[in-house]
Amino acid sequence: MVLPDAIHPIPLSVPFGDHDIEIHPVAVETDHGLILVDTAVPDAHGDIDAHLRTLGYGIEDISAIIITHHDADHAAGLARLVSRTHALVCTHGREVPYLEGKKPPAKGNWVPDPVPVDVQLVDGVSFRTEAGPMQVVSTPGHSPGHCSLYFPTTYTLIAGDALNVADGLIGPRPAFTPDMETATESVEKLATFDVTTTHCYHGGTVPEGTMRIKEILASLR
């Protein structure tokens, strides 16, 4: 499944603990460089760069990084990428203390290299991109400040870990979601958007959206 022009998935297989995992960061084109959504693990920066070069870019073209939440598989590579790109770091305010090292991670026992956050995201704010407006959607539950991203002109949702793909679109995974009640409320919020294509960090892109999200919501209640 192909995302709209100017939204580029970066499929990666990376070591995580005692096994490899498949993850899918995203690069979004803007008129001032790329916005990278999540950074994967530290050793993934070379693979990210290699994939971007197949698109005519490189990591030096990353001008901003959005961290959907501070879990290690999403944010452990942040410090290394910032050191190479000097990109602006953007995340929800409730995620800031974790990225800046003022609080220990809410899950797991990894110790992040502290990185200053330049932009604190709030629900509803939009970025200008070559794929149209990219709207921040606050979707907590999986983590305190988890955010998703919505493109209203192409009906595209980047769900982070608020949703997942496994033989189709599925809901948040209870084993990795400390606050399922809040996560369910976030799914309810996503069900109000007009979505035809959904991209998840775990599982990639599927041609499923609003109708399927409503089904997921019904199963969670």
The 10s digit of each residue's pLDDT in 126-135 is 999 999 999 9
Strands, E, within 53-117: which ranges?
A: 62-66, 88-92
Q: What is the CA 170 to chain-centroid distance, rounded?
A: 16
Per-residue pLDDT, averaged over 37-47, amounts to 89
Whether 3 has a pLDDT exceeding 90, the answer reads no
Query: What percent of the chain shows pLDDT beyond 90?
Result: 84
Cα–Cα separations (whole angstroms), residue 202 to 10, 22, 43, 176: 12, 7, 18, 12
Per-residue pLDDT, averaged over 39-68, amounts to 93
**pLDDT at position 42:** 82
> For residues 109 and 131, which has the higher predicted lDDT (pLDDT)?
131
Look at residue 2 and tell me if it is in a domain: no
Which range of residues forms the domain containing residue 57? 7-220
Whole-number average pLDDT of the chain: 94
Among the ranges given (18-27, 57-66, 118-127), the one the predictor scored with the smallest mean pLDDT: 18-27
Q: Report residue 16's pLDDT band, with 50, 70 and 90 as the boundaries.
A: low
Total domains in the chain come to 1
The dihedral of CA 86, 11, 205, 110: what is its sign?
negative
Look at residue 137 and tell me if it is in a domain: yes
Look at residue 118 and tell me if it is in a domain: yes
Here the tokens at position 122 are: 């709030």
Look at residue 1 and tell me if it is in a domain: no
Look at residue 26 and tell me if it is in a domain: yes
Here the tokens at position 20 are: 């490899």
Give the domain CATH number at 196: 3.60.15.10
Cα–Cα separations (whole angstroms), residue 119 to 35, 72, 97, 99, 125: 13, 20, 13, 12, 11
